[in-house]
């Protein structure tokens, strides 16, 4: 390193660069790149962060990704017989552009598409069953709910249109320092209001009927988030979009995206659990102090630590999700933020369904419903029941009817008892239960959301889950953090929290 650069760095640190845009840019060019970056967690958020950090900071920086469990986190599969099945995050929306970009970049094909058929269960009987004929469904819906259905699609689409702006901003390297800034840049005050209202309040205000909310919207929020229409309006819309057509998954399992991104980013995987992150200041010879983050971790062989210039937290900082101590920070950073994660138990059963449990008199051999949603009723112990296809669809595969033994996925807030399983299935030979702390327990109005920036160069991806939890949300947040970390490192303030981007970028298209 030359003396020339060192003295410029000194100027930078003293803040004397604030003399104008031009000198700022040239000073920024001379800022040394970071040497080491730590990412804590190898779910889709952490691995996408590694990918985007590599893109932003170039080939020289060393990126370490810490993960004590399996790569993929909440994207996980379970083996039953000869096949693997998704037990966590399962479906991806056609407009989830980052997820789409990842599989294209990594050369992963989407899973083969199979048709589906939906029904709604009230704990006693099926109150709605989709017909094989689109036109019949269409008229039945119009008959029951008037134009609520069409209007809902338009409403969701209008929110989605604004949501899509984030891709353009990120394409142009813009980043946001908080969730409020990010949401405001996408959808203005209307998006912030969605965060402060329940989906129910938002939809009633839009003129949707309570009956429609109870019978159609609630089943959708229950299957996607295990919760009622009292979740916030933003995650509510994300949930409704999750009922669109064209949903897809990754052939071989969604978690393959995570292993692929990790490999592609040329990061090092450290199979260890991070126990604490400490802020350390080291005085150096020239009187300029250097600061680092000391990441302490434990693995089978004991404990160790590493020093990093930038740290990205890619796991929820909530009770039961992680337990990381932050020391040396002022103001202090808590191990756990307020609010809790909601439990959804995924039970995968290989067996023969008791179709009478659903109150239907159809012969099981004719029962071809694949997705059974539920209304909010005390009779309903489950959130949903679905016929599950393997992560890789073999050639000539045909989904068996309910009369044959096959794999079903049950989502419920509590584990199912032996008695309940015996009631639901005439016979079963395999049960695999995963009790997920799946997504936030949404209780709007949202108090202050957790920060994106925990400290100078310490960032928090999963804060975004309090707006909505989904693979794409973690991916968007990961890219935002990589951009934010880059722009803050090189003092490119012009790329952070810009107002009216939507209008300004219009001309650049
Ligand atoms: C049952 C279920 C169904 C879902 N369905 C969908 C769906 O259909 N579509 C969709 O888009 N989303 C769905 N989601 C949500 C989606 O799975 C999550 O939003 C997403 O996977 C979160 O990814 P993440 O990387 O941010 O967090 P995680 O996947 O939770 O990754 C965090 C990682 O950090 C690790 N970690 C924790 N503590 C430490 C530590 N101290 N040191 C190092 N590492 C640590 C964990 O082991 C974990 O691997 C579903 C979730 C569940 C549970
Ligand atoms: C949302 O609610 C919080 C707490 O009630 C409040 O501080 C915040 O200003 C509200 N935001 C909007 C956009 O209404
Ligand atoms: C199937 O479900 C019905 C309705 O819940 C129940 O009466 C019956 O006992 C169940 N069958 C078995 C074999 O458990």
pLDDT in tens, 172-204: 999 999 999 999 999 999 999 999 999 999 999
**pLDDT tens digits, 465-491:** 999 999 999 999 999 999 999 999 999
Gap between the terminal Cα atoms of the chain: 41
pLDDT computed for residue 509 by the predictor: 53
User: Lowest mean pLDDT: which of 132-136, 223-227, 308-312?
Assistant: 132-136
CA-based nearest residue to 55, from 363, 353, 264: 264
Mean pLDDT of 429-448: 93
pLDDT computed for residue 208 by the predictor: 95
pLDDT computed for residue 22 by the predictor: 38
Q: Ligand 2 center to residue 196 CA distance, Å? A: 6
Instruction: For ligand 3, atom 10, name the residue with the nearest CA.
Output: 423
Is the pLDDT at 386 greater than 60? The verdict is yes
Q: Does the structural domain 109-162+186-250+341-440 have CATH classification 3.30.930.10?
A: no
Mean pLDDT of 402-418: 98
Q: Ligand 3 center to residue 431 CA distance, Å? A: 19
- Any ligand 3 atom below 6 A from CB of 427: no
Is the pLDDT at 139 greater than 80? The verdict is no
**pLDDT tens digits, 233-243:** 999 999 999 88
Mutate to test the pocket of ligand 1, among 45, 68, 89 (most ligand atoms within 8 A of CB): 89
Give the ligand whose atoms come closest to the C-alpha of residue 69: 1
User: Lowest mean pLDDT: which of 51-60, 88-97, 279-288, 452-461?
Assistant: 279-288
Q: Which residues pair with 501 in a beta bridge?
A: none
Which part of the chain has CATH 3.90.660.10? 109-162+186-250+341-440
Mean pLDDT of 133-138: 68
pLDDT computed for residue 1 by the predictor: 33
Is the pLDDT at 448 greater than 90? The verdict is no
User: Lowest mean pLDDT: which of 39-53, 96-110, 112-126?
Assistant: 112-126
Q: Which helix (H) or strand (E) holds 439?
A: strand 425-440
pLDDT computed for residue 17 by the predictor: 38
| Separation of alpha carbons 320 and 134, rounded Å | 44
Mutate to test the pocket of ligand 3, among 357, 364, 402, 420 (most ligand atoms within 8 A of CB): 357
Confidence of residue 506 (pLDDT cuts 50, 70, 90): confident
Is the pLDDT at 410 greater than 70? The verdict is yes
Is the pLDDT at 244 greater than 90? The verdict is no
Is the pLDDT at 284 greater than 80? The verdict is no
Confidence of residue 19 (pLDDT cuts 50, 70, 90): very low
Is the pLDDT at 507 greater than 80? The verdict is no
**pLDDT tens digits, 21-40:** 334 444 445 689 999 999 99
Atom of ligand 2 nearest to the CA of 196: 1
Per-residue buried b or exposed e for 256-272, using 16+ beta carbons within 10 Å of the residue's own CB: bbbbbbbeebebebbeb
The number of CA neighbours under 13 Å toward the Cβ of 349 is: 29
Confidence of residue 9 (pLDDT cuts 50, 70, 90): very low
Instruction: For ligand 3, atom 11, name the residue with the nearest CA.
Output: 423
**pLDDT tens digits, 52-91:** 999 999 999 999 999 999 999 999 999 999 999 999 999 9
Q: Which residues pair with 36 in a beta bridge?
A: 62
Mean pLDDT of 326-355: 97
Radius of gyration of the chain, Cα coordinates, nearest whole angstrom: 25
pLDDT computed for residue 23 by the predictor: 41
- Any ligand 1 atom below 6 A from CB of 75: yes
Give the ligand whose atoms come closest to the C-alpha of residue 446: 2
pLDDT computed for residue 406 by the predictor: 97
Q: Tell me the pTM.
A: 0.93
Peptide bond before residue 115 is cis, with ω within 30 degrees of 0: no
Domain 3-73+254-339+447-508 fold is FAD/NAD(P)-binding domain (3.50.50)
- Any ligand 3 atom below 6 A from CB of 263: no
Q: Ligand 1 center to residue 464 CA distance, Å? A: 12
CB neighbours of 239 closer than 8 A, spacing ≥ 6? 199, 220, 221, 224, 225, 231, 468
| Separation of alpha carbons 434 and 437, rounded Å | 10
What's the whole-number average pLDDT of the chain? 92
Atom of ligand 2 nearest to the CA of 195: 1
Mean pLDDT of 372-396: 96
Give the ligand whose atoms come closest to the C-alpha of residue 443: 2
pLDDT computed for residue 30 by the predictor: 63
- Any ligand 1 atom below 6 A from CB of 45: yes
Contact 499, 169 (CB under 8 A): no
In the chain, % of residues over pLDDT 90: 82
Confidence of residue 134 (pLDDT cuts 50, 70, 90): low
Which part of the chain has CATH 3.50.50.60? 3-73+254-339+447-508
Is the pLDDT at 446 greater than 60? The verdict is yes
Atom of ligand 1 nearest to the CA of 258: 25
SS3 279: strand
Q: Determine the Cα angle at 305 with ends 302 and 308, to 5°.
A: 155
- Any ligand 3 atom below 6 A from CB of 354: yes
Atom of ligand 1 nearest to the CA of 44: 25
CB neighbours of 235 closer than 8 A, spacing ≥ 6? 199, 225, 442, 467, 468, 469
Is the pLDDT at 430 greater than 80? The verdict is yes
Atom of ligand 3 nearest to the CA of 423: 14
Instruction: For ligand 1, atom 21, name the residue with the nearest CA.
Output: 74
Is the pLDDT at 141 greater than 50? The verdict is yes
Per-residue buried b or exposed e for 147-181, using 16+ beta carbons within 10 Å of the residue's own CB: ebbebbeebbeebbebbeebeebbeeebbbbbbbb
pLDDT computed for residue 21 by the predictor: 38
| Separation of alpha carbons 52 and 39, rounded Å | 12
| Separation of alpha carbons 305 and 295, rounded Å | 5
Q: Ligand 3 center to residue 160 CA distance, Å? A: 43
């Amino acid at each position: 390193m030359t003396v020339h650069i060192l003295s410029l760095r000194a100027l930078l640190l003293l803040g004397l660069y604030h003399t104008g845009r031009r000198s700022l840019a040239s000073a920024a060019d001379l800022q040394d790149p970071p040497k080491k970056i730590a990412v804590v967690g190898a779910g889709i958020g952490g691995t996408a962060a590694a990918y985007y950090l590599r893109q932003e900071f170039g080939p020289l920086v060393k990126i370490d990704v810490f993960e004590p469990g399996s790569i993929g986190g909440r994207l996980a599969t379970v083996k039953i017989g000869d096949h693997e099945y998704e037990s966590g995050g399962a479906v991806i929306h056609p407009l989830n552009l980052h997820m789409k970009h990842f599989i294209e970049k990594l050369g992963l094909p989407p899973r083969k598409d199979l048709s589906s058929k939906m029904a709604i269960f009230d704990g006693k009987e099926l109150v709605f069953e989709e017909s094989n004929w689109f036109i019949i469904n269409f008229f039945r819906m119009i008959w029951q709910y008037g134009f609520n259905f069409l209007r809902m699609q338009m409403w969701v689409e209008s929110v989605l249109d604004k949501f899509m702006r984030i891709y353009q901003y990120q394409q142009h390297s813009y980043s946001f320092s908080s969730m409020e800034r990010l949401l405001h840049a996408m959808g203005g005050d209307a998006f912030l209001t969605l965060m402060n209202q329940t989906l129910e309040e938002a939809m009633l205000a839009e003129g949707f009927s309570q009956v429609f909310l109870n019978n159609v919207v609630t089943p959708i929020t229950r299957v996607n988030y295990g919760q009622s229409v009292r979740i916030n309006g933003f995650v509510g819309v994300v949930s409704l979009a999750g009922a669109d057509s064209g949903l897809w998954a990754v052939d071989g399992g969604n978690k393959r995206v995570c292993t692929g991104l990790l490999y592609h980013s040329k990061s090092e995987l450290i199979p260890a659990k991070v126990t604490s992150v400490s802020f350390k200041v080291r005085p150096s010879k020239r009187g300029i102090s250097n600061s680092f983050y000391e990441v302490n971790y434990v693995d089978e062989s004991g404990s160790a630590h590493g020093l990093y210039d930038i740290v990205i937290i890619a796991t929820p900082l909530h009770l039961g999700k992680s337990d990381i101590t932050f020391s040396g920070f002022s103001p202090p950073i808590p191990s756990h933020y307020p609010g809790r994660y909601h439990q959804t138990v995924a039970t995968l059963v290989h067996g023969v369904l008791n179709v009478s449990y659903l109150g239907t008199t159809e012969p099981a051999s004719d029962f071809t419903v694949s997705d059974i949603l539920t209304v909010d009723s005390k009779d309903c112990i489950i959130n949903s029941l679905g016929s599950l296809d393997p992560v890789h669809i073999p050639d000539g595969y045909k989904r068996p009817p309910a009369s044959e033994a096959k794999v079903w996925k049950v989502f419920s807030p509590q584990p199912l008892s032996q008695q309940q399983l015996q009631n639901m299935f005439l016979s079963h030979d395999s049960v695999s239960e995963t009790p997920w702390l799946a997504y936030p327990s949404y209780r709007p109005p949202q108090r202050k959301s957790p920060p994106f920036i925990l400290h100078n160069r310490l960032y928090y991806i999963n804060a975004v889950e309090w707006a909505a939890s989904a693979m794409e949300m973690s991916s968007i947040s990961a890219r935002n953090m990589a951009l934010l970390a880059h722009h803050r490192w090189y003092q490119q303030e012009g790329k952070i929290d810009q107002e009216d981007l939507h209008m300004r970028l219009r001309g650049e298209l």
